[in-house]
Amino acid sequence: MLLSDDRGLRKFAIATLGLLALTVTAGCQVRPLYSTPTAGAGEAVSVSEADDRVEQRVRNELIFLLSGGAGEPSTAPYHLELNVASRAVDVLVSSSDDVARAGRIVMTADYNLTRSDSGETIRSGRRQVVALVDFPVQEFAKLRAIRDAENRAARELAELLRADIASGLAKR
């Protein structure tokens, strides 16, 4: 028999595994995740001006991610209107002296991606991130810890926004 000997069983197992691997990878695409379906370079996106430090931080991170470090384009076929808000929330309050020992920074971005020429909305939405922070006893150290947490949240929020923008541009 074909499967009765060890060599035939091994060939059958290899053929079955090969067929299974082909079946699993049949739905895969071979193209970069953030590529555009059109031929040519990635699409340029201009980002609205910032109103405060936190929004400027998210804007800078986002421009860096979208352009690969080349800076904001002078003319872009797409425009992103961005509004970012941040707030510090006390989470762990000491019962002995009623002072917060830990908290979180909640950063929220509302965005609207439009075509520059027609004003047609391509994608809009809201993203929110949370960064945890420990509050030291010293006041300056507490302010610095909050700023560091805001910077971490800004980087994470920019990553989420870049993914949303790439997804919106890929679907057009």
Q: What is the pLDDT along the chain (172 residues), one digit of tens a residue?
A: 455 567 777 888 888 888 877 776 766 655 565 554 443 335 789 999 999 999 999 999 999 999 888 888 888 899 999 999 999 888 767 667 767 788 899 999 999 999 999 999 999 999 999 999 988 888 899 999 999 999 999 999 999 999 999 988 887 7
Whole-angstrom Cα distance, residue 77 to residue 72?
Answer: 12
Q: How far is the C-alpha of 98 from the C-alpha of 160, rounded, in Å? A: 36
Nearest partner of 60 among 167, 162, 163, judged by Cα: 162
pTM > 0.85: no
What fold is seen in the domain 44-171? Double Stranded RNA Binding Domain (3.30.160)
User: pLDDT by residue (tens digit) across 28-76?
Assistant: 655 565 554 443 335 789 999 999 999 999 999 999 999 888 888 888 8
Of 87, 85, 97, 80, which Cα lies nearest the Cα of 165?
Answer: 80
Q: Which residues, at least 6 apart from 77, have a Cβ–Cβ distance to it below 8 Å? A: 43, 44, 115, 116, 117
Find out whether 160 and 129 touch, Cβ atoms under 8 Å. yes
What are the residue boundaries of the structural domains of the chain, listed by start?
A: 44-171
Tokens of 52: 């405060």
Residue 37: the pLDDT is 45
Q: Virtual CA dihedral for 159, 128, 149, 83, nearest 10 degrees?
A: 80
Classify each residue of 50-84 as buried b or exposed e, where b means 16 or more C-beta atoms within 10 Å of its C-beta.
beeebbebbbebbbbbbeeeeebeeebebbbebeb
